[in-house]
Chains A and B, each alone.
Chain A
Amino acid sequence: AQSVTQLDSQVPVFEEAPVELRCNYSSSVSVYLFWYVQYPNQGLQLLLKYLSGSTLVKGINGFEAEFNKSQTSFHLRKPSVHISDTAEYFCAVSEEGSQGNLIFGKGTKLSVKP
């Protein structure tokens, strides 16, 4: 069955440090991959998506992610974080040929400290 695993429930990091939020998925068919961000008391916002083509995708706010098919991973990275990046980040997949419903991981809370 398809599933999404976010290995870290919480990631504390100092401002201007690099960060990587990990995401692994399992599926028997091709997938599309997404990262969403949820700022405190706000709705979900799309950060970036991988549909096809280049495995390195760039999103908003300086984030990027790399699709690794052999490792079934889609880790999110940012070279230098800001206080304003404090939020919860969700990795999600939808399967090719599905009706587009997303399968989400449990989320990673990123806490950026000064």
Chain B
Amino acid sequence: GAGVSQSPSNKVTEKGKDVELRCDPISGHTALYWYRQRLGQGLEFLIYFQGNSAPDKSGLPSDRFSAERTGESVSTLTIQRTQQEDSAVYLCASSLSTSAPYEQYFGPGTRLTVT
């Protein structure tokens, strides 16, 4: 079956511009996570969605970052007024549930370069 998909795969933007990154989770997966992977670093948790509950935004690095999810489907991560330190690979993962730490399935990521 189809895995987690993300678009675009690559995005180059100028400093100060806004960007939107999209994630399509596996159908039926209620939990969705966004992570950021900066060069030479591990993945950093950004935000978590579970069904229709309020998202856990505790990992967002600044108020320039926001994310939305429509029900249990597509999610969009928006970065406003991008800065060079936002350059990273942004990864999305989905999971069946969080009642136990079920396996998270990762998308291929979006590589964001801010010039």
* Interface residue ranges, A against B (CB under 8 Å): 4, 6, 32, 36, 42-46, 49, 51, 90, 92, 94, 99-107
Q: Determine if B14 is an interface residue (Cβ-Cβ < 8 Å).
A: no
* Complex Cα–Cα for A32 and B103 (A): 11
Q: Are A100 and B95 in contact (CB under 8 A)?
A: yes
Q: Are A99 and B48 in contact (CB under 8 A)?
A: yes
* Complex Cα–Cα for A107 and B35 (A): 15
Partner of A106, one of B40, B95, B98, B109: B40
* Complex Cα–Cα for A93 and B93 (A): 15
Chain A proximity mask over B48-60: 1 for CB below 8 Å, otherwise 0: 1010000010010
Q: How many of chain B's residues touch chain A, expressed as a range?
A: 20 to 34
* Complex Cα–Cα for A3 and B35 (A): 16
* Complex Cα–Cα for A103 and B59 (A): 11
Chain A proximity mask over B32-46: 1 for CB below 8 Å, otherwise 0: 010100001111110
Q: Are A103 and B45 in contact (CB under 8 A)?
A: yes
Q: Are B109 and A43 in contact (CB under 8 A)?
A: yes
Point out the residues of chain A lying under 8 angstroms from B48, CB to CB.
Answer: 99-101
Q: Are A106 and B59 in contact (CB under 8 A)?
A: no
Partner of B43, one of A51, A99, A102: A102
